[in-house]
Structure 1
């Protein structure tokens, strides 16, 4: 059936579909029936306790809070999608407007997030995602920060569990013309689906890592940032609203939830939390220092399933190689020293060594280290001359056991580098510094090294995440793990392929500037320590940074429920 121009996905309050296996929140009668069934299995007496070994969670009735959280996540799902659509669309108001009239051709990308953030701040206040307008504001770096807690739970602030929710609000470059060209005018990078009749499954499968059956496309929301990772940020906002609404029922008992909508992550991974670790937490009171950080960057996998619980990622760094030669006229190349040709030899040798995994370690959980050429620039008088300078960068992903220092040495030791120097060219291998200012004008000047991290699976934060998933996600899905991008019924604990804001949290193990008490239970790994971290968010990793990027909005509903339930589970509340 052809849909009219301007068609947007239908967003039912209760999504369904045989392939995804969604069903609506159980009615009160259904819940009571489940409780009765569980009692019968437990010997017929309500309240009978079984040991963990005896009890099968699949027959456990939803707790009252599980049911209430899931109910409100469904109720506010349309609100979340409304906010998400507008957060994606907002740059369209600025990218084509003249700068002198307030326009910004880079609106929405790193260091140009303010219009989106300003909209989100206003909506946070309007929908009641904070108790008071003063509970949401920008920090000096430009992150949007809001806090929810229960002031009436009679628990001192310094004894509460502190939970950070962290999601970035910038996106990669939009490439609007490319989107329109590749989708035959069917999808716009900001306005989303324009004409469903113009897009086909083969077209989407060519661009994306995972595409659901066409019968479920009504649940897809297209646009730059939909999967990476505005869906996660909006989930934080609506979860905050639910936490406040359910505070009288224990949703916030003994916890402080600090949410961060961060900036500059795409250009400078972890910049937002890096600012916090450097400038906010040194000397801070316990009520500011996190016990756990939940990263709301995409945790879906095209083959393993959506909404994974991700407890680690590889590190990342940039290695910049500058080859300086001697320019000359192109008709007399013997008078010059060509940095492009010698640089090409370096790139070739580096690629060959990576293909052989020469100098790269592997890790069963995180995967192997990688290196690939990612950027280049050429200084040349003209296209008929020997260039003067060739600069390029490697994107180096670091697995456990690999270090930035050794990664630089590996490039320095390439025989092609030695050959260039022997021929009279200058070759420098260095780690670049990120020089750009945030939209607030703050410059971090950090080396472009982004440390990997892993939270042990046995950490209480991961156990609580699994419990929360079973309480508010599992009862409402029928998906099977390992069947494409569907949401699995069983929680899937895994790790990211790409990088996240989590790289901004590790600090040297011996750093005492942040007063981390033992009760915070931070993770110590090698020479570094960090709060327990994991990710949970809508979006499929293999669909991020892609033409026709999209998110299945049903994942947003379950992410909201998870984020609203985790704090009380982690704090030990029923």
Structure 2
């Protein structure tokens, strides 16, 4: 990385090293000024979120038995207060055909044709998915299409499509899977929710299904209102209370385990994974101050 013109530049500056650094700084400040009575603060620098949102927190809660009263997610919010985002899930649909010589395709059953017909219906499904006034519309898109054939002179006997399904409020995995099952009904096809299981840098192998529930916290919830009060006291103005477009560990913290979550982080979401990724140093300072103020106020 590089420090230049008031920014920290480099991969992960906004997503997601700035937030933990501000959290660690807030921890030091709280240690110096004194924590409120009966308050314990954890700064969790978790791993594997890019691959599997919430996996790290599922482990912390289920295996380490860490069950906080509330969590600040420090993903970039441009110093706004965020209270939710759409969920998502990864679905694979496999199509099983019957190969035949390419000179007589009528003898076979082309898996690519089956998958293509399903793909056109999935495109139509996207247009009629549910909407939510705060979180926005559910979506589905095909992110991968693969097929196999015994040769380039033969009818394809297998095809597979990978679906990126974004879930709005009121949508869940059963609904989403049933919608796809309905489309491929009558085809020789199998619909599956993918499972994630990989080994971390520590050698630990831990997994979960690739279903990341939608979550949102009501604006009048005490955690959100504590954030609003902290922001106004620090910065002498009203905060923007909004949502993320991308996904965070909130899918597990609140989506699975119903722990209250507030989002507040340095940097802008639009620069996440971008070649010009950067975070303002001013954001790091202000985020540290916000986290400190939030902890001081949450116990009142």
Decide: shared fold, TM above 0.5: yes
Tell me the residue number matched to 2:181.
412
- 1:161-211 CA-to-partner distances (Å, cap 9, x unmatched) read xxxxxxxxxxxxxxxxxxxxxxxxxxxxxxxxxxxxxxxxxxxxxxxxxxx
1:531 pairs, out of 259, 277, 288, with 259
Q: Is contact 1:340–1:387 with CA below 8 Å preserved after alignment? A: yes
Q: Aligned to 2:71, what secondary structure does the other structure show?
A: strand
CA 445–330 in structure 1, closer or farther in 2 if over 3 Å, else same: farther
CA 403–557 in structure 1, closer or farther in 2 if over 3 Å, else same: same
Tell me the residue number matched to 2:227.
465
- 1:406-436 CA-to-partner distances (Å, cap 9, x unmatched) read 111111111xx246x2xxxx20011111122
Q: Do structure 1's residue 401 and structure 2's residue 170 form an aligned pair?
A: yes
The alpha-carbon deviation at position 344 of structure 1 amounts to 2.0
TM-score scaled by structure 1?
0.49
Q: Is contact 1:255–1:568 with CA below 8 Å preserved after alignment? A: no
Q: Is contact 1:229–1:539 with CA below 8 Å preserved after alignment? A: no
The alpha-carbon deviation at position 380 of structure 1 amounts to 4.0
Tell me the residue number matched to 1:24.
none
The alpha-carbon deviation at position 252 of structure 1 amounts to 4.2
Tell me the residue number matched to 1:254.
38
Q: Do structure 1's residue 269 and structure 2's residue 269 form an aligned pair?
A: no
Aligned-partner Cα distance in 1 for 2:157–2:204: 34
Aligned-partner Cα distance in 2 for 1:368–1:263: 29
CA 418–243 in structure 1, closer or farther in 2 if over 3 Å, else same: same
Aligned-partner Cα distance in 2 for 1:541–1:407: 27
Could you say what the CA RMSD is over the residues aligned between the two structures, in angstroms?
A: 2.3
Aligned-partner Cα distance in 2 for 1:404–1:350: 16
The alpha-carbon deviation at position 491 of structure 1 amounts to 0.9
- 1:544-573 CA-to-partner distances (Å, cap 9, x unmatched) read 23332332332122111111221111122x
Q: Do structure 1's residue 446 and structure 2's residue 208 form an aligned pair?
A: yes
TM-score scaled by structure 2?
0.90
Q: Which runs of 4+ in 1 moved over 6 A?
A: none
The alpha-carbon deviation at position 387 of structure 1 amounts to 3.5
Quick one: higher RCO (CA 8 Å, sep 6+), 1 or 2?
Answer: 2
Aligned-partner Cα distance in 1 for 2:104–2:202: 50
Larger Rg, first or second structure (1 or 2): 1
Aligned-partner Cα distance in 2 for 1:406–1:560: 41
- 1:520-559 CA-to-partner distances (Å, cap 9, x unmatched) read xxxxxxxx75111111001222222333233233212211
More strand by share: 2
Tell me the residue number matched to 2:269.
541
Tell me the residue number matched to 2:193.
431
Q: Aligned to 1:260, what secondary structure does the other structure show?
A: coil
The alpha-carbon deviation at position 294 of structure 1 amounts to 0.5
Point out where structure 1 has 5 or more consecutive residues left out of the alignment: 1-6, 11-217, 282-287, 300-305, 476-488, 508-527
Point out where structure 2 has 5 or more consecutive residues left out of the alignment: none
- 1:469-490 CA-to-partner distances (Å, cap 9, x unmatched) read 1233x15xxxxxxxxxxxxx42
1:455 pairs, out of 217, 239, 253, with 217
Q: Is contact 1:314–1:397 with CA below 8 Å preserved after alignment? A: yes
